[in-house]
């Protein structure tokens, strides 16, 4: 029942996901088409204005500084929010003096012909004919400075004028700052003007528009954001930034939420509009599908709950019986493990007592050694109990409460947590070494200095544990001889318990004991896993 309910819910969620995604895509495409059509209509109106204005030109007004006077009413009647319109005459180089005189007679503030940037004009490099700005609209302090400038060498306007001559129709420029460097980004539309039918181009009517209201204007409540692919750099977009100005930003493509592209025509060229959806339709459809799936899962859960309640009453008793059986098995395993560990400890203690109180041993020395060895065993059992038999820190086996003369021992080695079995052997080993350290004066009149250090060499299963005990200022003559039990423990019992080898010897100034064993026996992971399974809580379900 649950599987059927889940399958039905999944199918319904998939269907809702597909429908919501399709609806969102259709709605977005319609909104984008509507916006693109409005942009195209806006662009077409501006081209029509340019064509109408060109048709109103009459000879001989072409060279006049008031050539735009008959057009002013037409330009403002369209309400196209242009930035500046200008009349640019194509004058032969031989007529430049006449053009400059006309500018002077018209009362232009700067009648001297200048470069497009306002600098001195390089007459020798001028083409023939020369494109000179003669009139502008509107006329204010920001636009009058363009009158008298030669535009042929302008990086954007110059090529645009040449293309207008070649194609003989209105053409648009690349996006460029208008009025001044750093000004608003816009586009200039230039239309060629002929003096007479069949004659050459006498000049150009140019009208510039801000790019933002021309192509990028958009309602804040719309479902998309619009950008224009920069014709100067295909890897960038032109979009309206947070400050309201047009900015060039890197082109972004999202595979999960791809943009829509629309192409509009303006000035004899195509412009690509890029529409980015503000809301990821796939995410929205996924959220709706999850809601439907959740409702289906809830209904399925209710039905399965009713069925499960009846089934639970039937299986509850069997679970309780199985839990009791598992608990008894766990308890048996714990008791067996405890018996095993107690037997090991008793066997070690029995061996300690037997070998310490051997026949003929001095009773006082034997009693002292027996108490110390049993105390060392008690200490390691305490440490194991505190760690719940998960191992003992190797440094903890060298504490003062575990072995004698601990304050004279310098310990050096990495932090290791040895297994319970290794801890018992090492605890007796350390006690045996420390208890036989010289308690009297050495050859140089000082207590021996003791150094205990260990290291791990290699990695993985090949890693080896190396332990070195060295008593300085000690010789065979000054050190108390090892007992029979100590010799057996040092040479055979401890190394065999750890699966390693040991050796002891005297140097010129010290007594040395070395032990090497595989790390897999010193740190027994199998023993830890077994203890962890016993400590794990009993599952009741």
- Kindly report, residue by residue over 312-323, the tens digit of the pLDDT: 666 777 777 777
Q: Are both 344 and 252 inside the same structural domain?
A: no
82 with 189, same domain: the answer is yes
pLDDT of residue 503: 93
Q: What is the CA radius of gyration of the chain?
A: 49
Judge contact between 366 and 372, C-beta under 8 A.
no
> What burial class does residue 227 get, using C-beta atoms within 10 Å of its C-beta: 0-12 exposed, 13-18 middle, 19+ buried?
buried
CA–CA distances in Å: residue 223 to residues 72, 259, 393: 39, 12, 66
Task: Give the residue from 280, 296, 327 where a domain finishes.
Answer: 280
pLDDT at 352: 66
**Residue 399 sits in the same domain as residue 522:** yes
Specify the pTM.
0.52
Of 377, 375, 378, 414, give the one whose Cα is nearest residue 394.
Answer: 414
Domain assignment present for residue 90? The answer is yes
Q: Are residues 168 and 75 in the same domain?
A: yes
CATH number for position 440: 3.30.565
Per DSSP, the three-state class of 485 is helix
Q: In this structure, are strands 201-210 and 185-194 parallel, antiparallel, or unpaired?
A: antiparallel
Q: Which residues of the chain have a pLDDT value below 70?
A: 1-2, 5, 58-63, 74, 77-80, 196-199, 285, 312-314, 326-327, 330-348, 350-362, 364-366, 369, 400, 402, 438-448, 527-541
Domain count for the chain, please give it.
Answer: 2
Report the pLDDT value the prediction gives residue 271, as an integer from 0 to 100.
92
At CA 440, angle to CA 436 and CA 443, rounded to 5? 105
Domain that holds residue 273: 57-280
Judge if 87 and 164 occupy the same domain: yes
pLDDT of residue 446: 56
């Amino acid at each position: 029942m649950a599987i059927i309910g889940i399958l039905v819910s999944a199918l319904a969620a998939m269907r809702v996901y597909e429908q919501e995604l399709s609806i969102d895509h259709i709605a977005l495409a319609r909104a984008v088409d509507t916006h693109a059509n409005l942009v195209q209509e806006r662009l077409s109106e501006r081209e029509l204005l340019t064509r109408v204005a060109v048709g109103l030109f009459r000879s001989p007004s072409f060279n006049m500084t008031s050539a735009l006077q008959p057009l002013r009413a037409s330009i403002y009647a369209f309400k196209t929010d242009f930035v500046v319109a200008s009349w640019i005459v194509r004058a032969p180089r031989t007529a430049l003096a006449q053009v400059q005189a006309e500018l002077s007679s018209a009362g232009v503030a700067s009648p001297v012909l200048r470069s497009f940037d306002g600098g001195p004009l390089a007459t020798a490099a001028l083409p023939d004919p020369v494109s000179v700005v003669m009139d502008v609209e509107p006329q204010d302090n920001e636009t009058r400075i363009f009158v008298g400038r030669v535009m042929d060498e302008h990086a954007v306007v110059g090529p645009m004028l040449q293309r207008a001559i070649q194609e003989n129709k209105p053409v648009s420029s690349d996006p460029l700052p208008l009025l001044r460097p750093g000004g608003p980004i816009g586009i200039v539309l230039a239309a060629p003007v002929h003096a007479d039918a069949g004659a050459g181009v006498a000049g150009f009517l140019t009208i510039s528009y801000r790019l933002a209201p021309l192509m990028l204007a958009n309602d804040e409540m719309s479902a998309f954001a619009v950008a224009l692919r920069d014709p100067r750099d295909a890897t960038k977009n032109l979009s309206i930034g947070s400050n309201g100005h047009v900015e060039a930003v890197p082109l972004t493509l999202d595979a999960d939420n791809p943009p829509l592209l629309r192409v509009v025509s303006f000035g004899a060229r195509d412009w690509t509009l890029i529409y980015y959806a503000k809301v990821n339709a796939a995410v929205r459809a996924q959220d709706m599908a999850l809601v439907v799936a959740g409702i289906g899962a809830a209904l399925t859960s209710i039905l399965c709950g009713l069925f499960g309640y009846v089934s639970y009453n039937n299986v509850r008793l069997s679970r309780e019986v199985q839990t009791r059986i598992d608990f008894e098995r766990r308890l048996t395993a714990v008791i067996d493990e405890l018996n095993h560990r107690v037997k090991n400890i008793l066997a070690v203690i029995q061996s300690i007592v037997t070998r310490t109180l051997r026949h003929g041993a001095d009773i006082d020395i034997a009693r002292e050694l027996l108490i110390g060895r049993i105390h060392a065993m008690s200490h390691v059992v305490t440490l194991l109990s505190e760690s719940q038999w998960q191992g003992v820190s190797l440094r903890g086996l060298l504490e003062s409460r575990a072995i004698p003369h601990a304050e004279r021992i310098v310990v050096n080695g990495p932090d290791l947590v040895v297994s319970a079995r290794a801890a018992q052997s090492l605890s007796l080993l350390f006690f045996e070494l420390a208890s036989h350290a010289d308690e009297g004066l050495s050859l140089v009149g000082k207590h021996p200095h003791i150094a205990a250090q260990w290291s791990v060499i290699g990695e993985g299963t090949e890693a080896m544990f190396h332990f070195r005990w060295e008593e300085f200022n000690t010789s065979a003559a000054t050190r108390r001889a090892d007992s029979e039990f100590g010799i057996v423990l040092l040479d055979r019992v401890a190394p065999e318990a750890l699966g390693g080898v040991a050796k002891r010897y005297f140097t010129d100034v010290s007594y040395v004991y070395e032990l090497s064993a595989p790390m897999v026996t010193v740190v027994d992971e199998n023993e830890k896993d077994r203890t962890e399974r016993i400590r794990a809580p009993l599952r009741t379900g």
